[in-house]
């Protein structure tokens, strides 16, 4: 029986692929909540899997690795999208036998997320918890206290909303509003804006606002994986596509993690013109990294990362890797390297995660021998050549990192590269591109001209609905449409199909 990590190696799951598939919207919310509570990132692994549990029931689930740990969880859901249970794998667990299974009786799993989060933070063991939950599932039960705890807290004296949030969290105010609606005049907001209780806690009626539920943790049992159905049209209709905002949030998180030394390589593939390069640059700068704007290739340059675009030959890639051998190198739209065997072999050595030292080497008329030379001597030899006739060391240690940004499909990239990298897919359809632009309308130039930008966006929506677009819509299309609108030409809308 294969181990948990053997299974991952077989499936390339250690690549930790984030994805753009269809998922129930509840999964996205639960993932976001657990990430906040665990103060860690849940990285989706692969796609939704189908399995038969120990009781013979068919189910579906999405797995997530808890970053920087050996633990994995799977959120299991029904065909209607209702999340019904959670499985946990710990170090050494078999791929087809979870370490623990968590399920809830008399409530939805989202209503007891605080208790589940606490269980995941500690050392899991078989246990049954009797917990109080809210009837109103929309709150996601994100407050850490019971309704009675909130009432007793108010009994100690008038409290500002922020004091209540600090004691519990932001959702405690919404719970308090439920209490106030059921108990008029017993909890009021006084003239100073503070919440005040006017009776004793035992006089406040909490019946019907909460109920008991059981959270059970049991030892996991054998399960059987089954192939996903070829046709899942009915499932896609019941599930929601992951919102662009969530995909970009995950994208930014992966870039931050890499910037903190999480791994050697990140491959971002997706729709062109949606801001992939801009996002990488923005996140790196927010992390305090400085860009290397220019400088002689191979020389010592100040800065942390460099962005290089365009085509590159094998020699060009070798040059870039040597130049930025201890930096973060962002290769933007240099897709030619994925189609060249020599360039692929060079990258394999630079990205190898299995060795302590990543030695890149190449014997050619364009390189010089380095055997017995120190790093300083190698650099001096390199610097001695004229720029047009320069040669490169025939071997060097690469200590840097690489981010690839491409518009290619993932399966068009050599598996030797993807297996050494984190792979993130960011493909948006036309509607998602437009929705993403609308949600971030204020961040696009010209700043302060939102009305004009909304007019341009609406013109693009009308064009899309009419089917008159002449090319794929991107953020660049939107910016061109805004420029057209700002010219003041009366028939500018007739031309947005060329944007």
Query: Cα(333)–Cα(311) distance, rounded to whole angstroms?
Result: 8
Q: Are strands 224-226 and 42-52 parallel, antiparallel or unpaired?
A: antiparallel
Residues of the chain with CATH 1.10.10: 139-208
Q: How many residues does the chain have?
A: 499
Question: What is the model's pLDDT at position 21?
Answer: 38
Question: What is the model's pLDDT at position 277?
Answer: 93
Name the region of 68 (left: φ>0; alpha: ψ -120 to 50; beta: rest).
Answer: left
String of DSSP letters for 240-266: EEPPHHHHHHHHHHHHHHHHTTS-SEE
Query: In terms of DSSP H, where are the helices of 183-243?
Result: 233-238
Q: C-alpha angle with apex 422: 416 to 427, nearest 5 degrees?
A: 105
Query: Cα(309)–Cα(289) distance, rounded to whole angstroms?
Result: 19
Cβ contact 201:186 at 8 Å: no
Question: What is the model's pLDDT at position 205?
Answer: 83
Q: State the pTM of this model.
A: 0.54
Question: What is the model's pLDDT at position 229?
Answer: 54
CATH topology of domain 246-426: Rossmann fold (3.40.50)
Question: What is the model's pLDDT at position 7?
Answer: 32
225: number of CA atoms within 13 Å, CB side?
12
Question: What is the model's pLDDT at position 358?
Answer: 92
Q: Which of 228, 214, 221, 217 is nearest to 55 (CA)?
A: 221
- At 459, is the secondary structure helix, strand, or coil? helix
Query: In terms of DSSP H, where are the helices of 270-340?
Result: 276-286, 314-323
430: number of CA atoms within 13 Å, CB side?
16
Among 1.10.405, 1.10.10, 3.30.460, 3.10.20, what is the CATH number of 139-208? 1.10.10
Question: What is the model's pLDDT at position 227?
Answer: 64
Backbone angles phi, psi at 118, to 5 degrees: -65, -40
Tell me the torsion sign for CA atoms 463, 468, 474, 475.
negative
| Average pLDDT per block of 10 residues along the chain, 499 residues long | 33 30 67 85 78 83 81 83 85 79 80 84 84 50 59 88 76 76 85 87 76 82 72 43 87 93 90 89 95 62 88 88 93 86 90 82 91 91 84 93 90 85 88 86 76 89 77 83 90 86
Lookup result for tokens 């299995």 = 354
Query: Cα(203)–Cα(301) distance, rounded to whole angstroms?
Result: 71
Residues of the chain with CATH 3.40.50.300: 246-426
Name 129's bridge partners.
215
Question: What is the model's pLDDT at position 399?
Answer: 93
Question: What is the model's pLDDT at position 9?
Answer: 31
Question: What is the model's pLDDT at position 325?
Answer: 92
């Amino acid at each position: 029986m294969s181990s948990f990590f053997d299974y991952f190696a077989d499936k390339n799951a250690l690549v930790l692929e984030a994805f753009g598939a269809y998922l129930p919207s509840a999964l996205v919310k639960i993932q976001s909540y657990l990430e906040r509570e665990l103060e860690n990132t849940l990285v989706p692994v692969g796609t939704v899997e189908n399995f038969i549990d120990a009781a013979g029931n068919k189910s579906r689930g999405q797995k997530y690795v808890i970053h920087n740990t050996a633990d994995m969880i799977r959120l299991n859901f029904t065909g209607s999208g209702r999340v019904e249970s959670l499985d946990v794998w710990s170090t050494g667990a078999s791929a087809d036998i979870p370490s623990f299974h968590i399920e809830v009786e008399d409530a939805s799993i989202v209503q007891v997320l605080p208790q589940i989060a606490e269980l995941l933070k500690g050392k899991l063991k078989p246990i049954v918890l009797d917990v109080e939950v809210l009837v109103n599932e929309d709150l996601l039960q994100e407050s850490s206290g019971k309704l009675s705890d909130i009432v007793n807290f108010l009994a100690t004296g008038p409290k500002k909303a922020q004091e209540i949030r600090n004691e519990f969290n932001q959702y405690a105010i919404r719970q308090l509003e439920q209490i106030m609606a059921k108990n008029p005049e017993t909890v009021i907001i006084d003239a100073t804006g503070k919440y005040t209780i006017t009776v004793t806690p035992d006089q406040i009626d909490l019946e019907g606002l909460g109920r008991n539920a059981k959270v059970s943790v049991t030892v996991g049992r054998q399960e059987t994986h089954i192939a996903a159905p070829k046709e899942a049209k009915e499932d896609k209709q019941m599930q929601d596509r992951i919102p662009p905002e969530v995909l970009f949030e995950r994208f930014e998180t992966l870039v931050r993690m890499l910037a903190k030394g999480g791994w050697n390589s990140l491959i971002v593939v997706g729709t062109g013109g949606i801001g992939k390069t801009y996002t990488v640059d923005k996140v790196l700068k927010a992390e305090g990294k400085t860009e290397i704007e220019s400088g002689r290739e191979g020389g010592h340059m100040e800065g942390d990362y460099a962005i290089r675009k365009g085509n590159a030959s094998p020699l060009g890639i070798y040059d870039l890797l040597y130049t930025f051998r201890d930096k973060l190198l962002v290769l933007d739209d240099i897709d030619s390297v994925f189609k060249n065997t020599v360039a692929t072999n060079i990258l394999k050595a630079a990205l190898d995660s299995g060795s302590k030292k990543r030695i890149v080497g190449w014997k050619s008329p364009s390189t010089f021998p380095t055997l017995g030379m120190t790093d300083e001597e190698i650099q001096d030899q390199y610097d001695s050549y004229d720029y047009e006739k320069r040669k490169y060391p025939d071997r060097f240690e690469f200590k840097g990192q690489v981010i690839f940004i491409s518009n290619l499909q993932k399966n068009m990239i050599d598996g030797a590269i993807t297996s050494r990298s984190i792979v993130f897919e960011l493909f948006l359809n036309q509607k998602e591109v437009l929705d993403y632009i609308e949600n971030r309308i204020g961040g696009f130039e010209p700043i302060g001209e939102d009305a004009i930008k909304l007019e341009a966006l609406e013109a693009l929506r009308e064009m899309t609905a009419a089917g008159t677009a002449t090319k794929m819509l991107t953020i660049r299309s939107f910016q061109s449409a805004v420029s057209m609108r700002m010219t003041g030409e009366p028939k500018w809308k007739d031309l947005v199909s060329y944007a």
